[in-house]
Chains A and B, each alone.
Chain A
Amino acid sequence: MTVGKDVSTLFPDVKLVYLYLMNLRAKTQPDKAIMAVNTFVRELRKILIPLIRALAMRTRTCARLRAVCVAKLHDIDPLLVEEQGFLDALKELLADSNPMVLNAVAAITEISDSAQTDTAADMLCWSGQLINKLLTALNECTEWGQVFILDAVANYMPTENNEGAKRVSPRLAHANAAVVLSAVKVIMKLLEMLDPNSDFQEASAPLVTLLSSEPEIQYVALRNINLIVQKRPDILKQELKVFFVKYNDPIYVKLEKLDILIRLTSAANIANVLAELKEYATEVDVDFVRKAVRAHRSLRDQSRVGCRALRQHPAGSHPDQGELRCPRGHRSHQDIFPQVSQQIRVRHWHPVRKLGHPLDEPEARASMIWIIGEYAERIDNADELLESFLEGFADEQTAVQLQLLTSVELVQQALSLATQEADNPDLRDRGYIYWRLLSTDPAAAKQVVLAEKPLISEETDLLEPNLLDELICPHWQPGPPAAFVDGRGGGQVAKATKGLPSRLAAEAGGAAAALLLVVATLAPGTGAPGRPAVSVIPTQESLIGDLLDIDMSGGAATAAAAMAAASASTNQQPVICLARDWTR
C-alpha cells in the first residue's frame, strides 16, 4: 500500500476498507507514516463518499456493514460524517425493518455520545415512535441485538411509555444473561417513572436464576442485585437462601453474597442468617471470615434473639475456635468478644496462655489490649494484665503503645511515658490530648471517650440515596467497573460524593481527628480503687497547655457532637471507619 496511488481499485469490498482503516489506525507508528495516513485518508474519502452513497441503494447484505462503517468513520473523523449527511443515512437505516439495523442502533448511540455538532446531536433524538419500533424489533434480533436495543431504550426513555414494561418483560425469559439484566434495568426504570410503589416481583425469579451462571456473570448479577436490594428491598426478600455462600464459590462471589445476605436480614430471618454466618467463621479466607464475623456481631447487636443464643456459650470458650488460631483473626476477635462478654463476666482470663504464639504479632497484642481496655469492667484481672503490658511499654511497637495508652487505667503513668519519653509524634499528641481533656473537662472527656459506639461496620454502608437513584436509573448496568473496584458496594463512591457531614468533622484538624478516633474506654473511676486520681495534671502555664490551645476546645466539642450524632443514627459508616483505621 503505497501513498499516492489510486487505491480505489484495490478495495472493492467495503468491509475490507474499513478493516484496513481500523488496522491502520491501530498500528500506525506516529513518527513513521503520519503523512501517509493523512494522504491515505484523503484519498479514501474520495472513494468512500461515493461508495457509501451508492450503498444507499438498499442492498440487504450491506445494511449492517453500512451502519458499522458510518460508526467507524465517525470515530475517525466526526465532522466528515456529520457534514456529509451520513447521519441521515443512518436514520434511514433505522426505518428499515431489517434486523441487521441493530448495528445502526448501536452506531447511533455511540455517535450521539460523541456528537460534535449540535445538528448531529439533535438529529439523533429518540422519539416514542422510534422506541416502539425498536421494541417490536426485539423479537427478530439476535441475542446481542436485543441487549443493544434494551440498553438504548433504557438510556433514552421518553417520558411516557406505558406499554414498555409489557413489551420488555418477555425478555426476562431469555437464556442470555445480558438480555435478562438489560431487561431488568429497563423495567426498573419504567417502574421508577410510572409506578414507584409496584413490587416488581417478576424480576425476582430471573435474577435468582442468574446465580446459576458462570462465576463472572454471577458476580455482575450480584453487584446489580446489591443495588436493587438497596433500592427496593422487598424484591428478593423471600430468596435469602439463594445467597448462602457455597464452599467452592470464588472469593469475589462469596464477598458479594455476604453483603447481600446482610442487607436482606430482617427480624423474620435473622436467626437463619446468624446461624449461617457462624458457619462462615470457620472458612479459610481471612477477609471473608472477618467480614462474616463482623456482620455476625453487628446483626446480633440488633437482635435480642442473638443475645439469647450467645449466652449459651460458656465464658472463655469462643464459638469460633478457629478464629483464635489465626493471628490476623485476632482483629476480628476483638469484634467477637463483645458478643460473649456482654452477658458474661470473664473471671480470670489468661489470654497469653490460652492463645499462645499469636500474641507475637503486634497487631494481635494491640487487639488484645483493646479488648482488655474496652471490657475492663468485665475482666477481673484486667489491671494485672495491663500492668504486665505496661512494663514493657518502651519496647512495644507503636501500635501497641497507642493501644495501651487508651486502655490503661494508670493514666498518669502512661501519659507521662508517652509525652516525655516516646519518640512517635502521634503517641505524644494523643497523650497530650487526653491529658488536656481530662484537665479541662473530665465530664466531657468521659462523654467522648465512653460514648456508645455506633453499630454497624463499613460492611453495610448504604449509598447516599441520590447516588443510588442515579446508579439504578437510568443506567446502573454492572455499574462502571470502577465502582466495583474502588469500593465494594460502591462505598467509595458514596464517600466521593458530598454531603456526608461526619467526614467534615474528621477533616477538622489532626487533633480533633484523634479524638474522634477514641474508641476504648479510659474508665477512670471504674476498676480498682486506690489508683492515683487523675487530677495530677500539668497546669495551663505548662508547655503542654500551649501546644493544645490551637484547636483543642473546638475539637473536643466537635468530637463530642460527632460522636453523639453518630450514635444517634445507625448505619452511618464514617466514624467506625475511622476507628477501624486507628485500631489497625
Chain B
Amino acid sequence: FNPYDLIHPGIMSASAIYFLDIKGKVLISRNYRGDVPMSIIEKFMPLLMEREEDGTLQPILPCEEVYFLYIKHSNVYIVATTRKNSNASLVFTFLHKVASIFIEYFKDLEEESIRDNFVIIYELLDEVIDFGFPQTTDTRILQEYITQECHKLEVAPKPPPAVTNQVSWRPDGIKYRKNEVFLDVIENVNLLVSASGNVLQSEINGFINLRTYLSGMPELQLGLNDKVLFESTGRGRNKSVELEDVKFHQCVRLSRFESDRTISFVPPDGEFELMSYRLNTHVKPLIWVESVVERHVHSRVEYMVKAKSQFKRRSTANNVDIIVPVPQDVDSPKFKTTAGSCRYEPETNSVVWSIKSFPGGKEHIMRAHFGLPSVETDELEARPPVSVRFEIPYFTVSGIQVRYLKVFEKSGYQALPWVRYITQNGDYQLRSQ
C-alpha cells in the first residue's frame, strides 16, 4: 500500500457486484469493468468470518489487490469489488439504493426474491450502473421500462425521455382525476441517558414525506416556520423552529434554498422523502423510565420499573413498549403492572412492557420477578440499556409547522394538501445501572 495512492485516486466505483446468500454462495452477479477476476468472491466469506472472530470486522475488507465493500440485508449480502481507490461513500450509498430498488420491486430483499426474479434483476443491474458509474436509480423511472412482465427483447430500444430530461425523476404525461398532496411530518426522537440519570444526548431527526397525486409537471413550494426565514423576513418574533441541519431530496433546488430559504421543487410522482432535518432539543424526555433492580444471587432478581409521560396532557402516546433487559439465565417470570401488559422474551433476554395508550402527564409502575439459577455463571454479562418504542400522533417536539404548500401547474388546477404530524421513538435508550 502506497500512501501516495491517495493523491490520485480514481473516482470509479464498483468493478463488479454480487448478491450472496447467508453462507456466501453467489446468487447473482454482474461484472462491470472486467478488471477483477470474478472468482475472487470465493474469498469473501472466509475473510468475513475470520475478521468476525478476530473482532476486526469492518465494512471494507481488503483481499489481495481488491477491496470488498459490502452491506447485509436480511439473508442477503450485497458485495461490490473495487480495485482502485474508489469513493467508498459512493459505493455504500449506491448499494443501499440498489437494495431499496429491489425492495420496491419485490416487496422484500431476500434470497427468495433473488431466486425468483433473475431476469428482471439482470436487467436492473444492467441499467443502474454502467462501467462502474451509477446511472438511473429512480425506481419510478426504472419501472417505466423494466417491468415484471417484460422480457428482455421487448424492452424499448431507446431509454424513455425521462432518462435524458433535466427532470430525471418525473416522467411526462401523468394524469390524475383528483389532484391531491399528502404531507407527513415525522419526528424521531433520539435519547441517550446515562446510568446516573443524566441526559447525555437528546435530538430530533425529522422527516417530511410527501405523497403526490398530481397531474402534469407541477411546481411546488413549501412554507415552514423556519427561524432563519422568519428572521430574514421580519417575522422574528413569531414562533419558529431552528433547523440545525437540513437535507433535501435531489428534486429540490438547493441554490434557491441557500439564497433565500425557499423550498421549491418539481416532485416525483407518488411517495418520497422531501427533506430531513435535525435539531437538538432541551425539552424533557417524552417518556422517562427509571428502574430499580434487586438481585439476590443464586435465588431471584426483582425489577421495579417506573415510566412517566412528560408531555402535555392533551396528547397520548400509542403502542408504547418499554424494553427492559434481563440476565440470560432467568426463569419463572411474574409480572404486576398498573397499566398495560408484560411479556418475557427469552430470545432477546428482555421484558417488554406494552402500554397501548399512555396519555401525557401520567405515571405507571411495573414490577417483575424472576428466578435465578443456583449455579452462577462466570461469564461477563452485557448490560444493554432500557429502550422505549412509542408514537405520539398530532404532536411534534420541535414545534415545526407547515404553513403552506403551493402547487402551480400550467393547466391551473387546484390541488388539496393534507398534513399530519407524528412523533415517535428514534434511538431511545436509557443506560442501566
Contact = CB atoms under 8 A, between A and B. Distances in A.
Are A and B a genuine interacting pair, yes or no?
yes
A279 interface: yes
Interface residues of A, number: 98
B164 A252 contact: no
A64 B129 CA distance: 12
Contacts of B429: 246-247
Contacts, number: 243
B245 A481 contact: no
A481 B60 CA distance: 6
A167 to B, nearest CB: 8
A565 to B, nearest CB: 25
B93 A325 contact: no
Contacts of A251: 55, 57
Contacts of B92: 177-178, 214, 216-217, 220
B7 A470 contact: yes
Nearest to A71: B131
A151 B89 contact: no
Contacts of B131: 22, 68, 71-72
A220 B89 contact: yes
Interface stretch (A45-53, A99-107, A332-340, A385-393): A99-107
- Residue from B33, B136, B275, B384 having most chain A Cβ neighbours under 10 A: B33
Interface stretch (B218-226, B254-262, B311-319, B353-361): B254-262
Interface string A455-481: 000000000000100110011111111
B250 A174 contact: yes
B283 interface: no
Contact of A279 (B4, B247, B431): B431
B278 A13 contact: no
A144 B59 contact: no
A580 interface: no
B157 interface: yes
A282 interface: yes
B420 interface: no
Nearest to A176: B93
B57 A252 contact: yes
A53 B3 CA distance: 41
A221 B93 CA distance: 12
Interface in B243-277: 244-250, 253-255, 257-258, 273, 275-276
A550 interface: no
B194 interface: yes
Given A75-B33, A155-B8, A173-B247, A144 B378 contact: no
Contacts of B255: 139, 170
A427 interface: no
26 contacts: A22-B32, A61-B158, A63-B164, A98-B164, A99-B166, A139-B255, A142-B168, A148-B133, A170-B258, A175-B248, A176-B93, A176-B250, A209-B276, A212-B190, A212-B205, A214-B96, A216-B71, A217-B92, A244-B200, A250-B57, A279-B195, A279-B431, A283-B382, A467-B3, A480-B9, A485-B58
Given A100-B164, A242-B201, A481-B60, 15 more contacts: A102-B133, A106-B12, A110-B11, A174-B247, A175-B250, A181-B89, A212-B205, A244-B200, A250-B57, A284-B380, A322-B380, A478-B89, A480-B1, A482-B1, A485-B62
Interface of A: 13, 19, 22-23, 25-26, 60-61, 63-64, 68, 71-72, 75, 98-100, 102-103, 106, 109-110, 113, 139-140, 142-144, 146-148, 151-152, 155, 169-171, 173-178, 180-182, 205-206, 208-209, 212, 214-217, 219-221, 241-242, 244, 246-248, 250-252, 275-276, 279, 282-287, 322, 325-326, 467, 470-471, 474-486, 493, 496-497
